[in-house]
Amino acid sequence: MPFYEHVFLMRQDLAPAQIEAIIDTNKKIIEDAGGKIGKVENWGLRTLAYRIRKNRKAHYVLMNLDCPSEAVNELERIERLSDDVIRFMTVRVDELEEGPSAMMRAREERGRGRRPGGRDR
């Protein structure tokens, strides 16, 4: 089966329980279609570069998927209909990335007092 990275943005005013419910729904869609979830990273509330549907911020989530293309089509169809998901993007990749994504690594470096370029503050 092909591998995908799927990132979706949810409205800024959602409660943590609502965010988890949307993630669980997306997982169920993929698993019901015979796919597997590699990892799920919640990147948290981040500022958008421009307003999307009157939102200045959004909750970002990354999912690594190992599933047939029909499962991705169904996931995107459900997200298109949802009022809580404001944007999504799915990219087919050759292999799934192991360990934390670049966004999570950058967050860890900021937590240690280092800039992403490698220089100390």
Over residues 60-106, the pLDDT tens digits come to: 999 999 999 999 999 999 999 999 999 999 999 998 888 777 788 78
Q: What count of other Cβ atoms lies within 10 Å of the Cβ of residue 2?
A: 13
Task: Report the CATH fold assignment for 3-111.
Answer: Alpha-Beta Plaits (3.30.70)
In this prediction the pTM is: 0.83
Written as six digits, the tokens of 52 are 């999307």
**Tens digits of per-residue pLDDT, 3-14?**
999 999 999 999
